[in-house]
């Protein structure tokens, strides 16, 4: 059983969280990783920004 996630696992889970609910364990270990990894925090921020942009753009096109 892993106590910490590496960057590959963390980014995979960030992507998967768009399609499914992460388990409590996954959420906790992902948060722990994000607390210590600036690169993954930046990646998460970029993902959220892209999702917001795409949602806004998609919504405007289909009004």
Domain boundaries defined on the chain: 7-61
Residues in the chain: 63
Cα separation of 5 and 23, whole Å? 14
How confident is the model over 8-36, as pLDDT tens digits?
999 999 999 999 999 999 999 999 999 99
Mean per-residue pLDDT, 33-46: 96
**Res 40 pLDDT > 60:** yes
> How many Cα atoms within 13 Å fall on the side-chain side of residue 54?
6
Q: Report the alpha-carbon distance of residue 63 to residue 44 in Å, rounded.
A: 29
Cα 46 to chain centroid distance, Å, stands at: 9
CA gap 59, 55 in Å, rounded: 6
Looking at the whole model, is its pTM more than 0.85? Answer: no
């Amino acid at each position: 059983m892993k106590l910490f996630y590496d960057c590959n696992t963390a980014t995979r889970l960030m992507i998967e969280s768009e399609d499914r609910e992460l388990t409590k364990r996954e959420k906790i270990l992902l948060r722990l990783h994000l607390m210590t990894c600036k690169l993954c925090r930046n990646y998460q921020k970029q993902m959220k920004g892209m999702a917001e942009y795409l949602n806004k753009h998609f919504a405007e096109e289909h009004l």
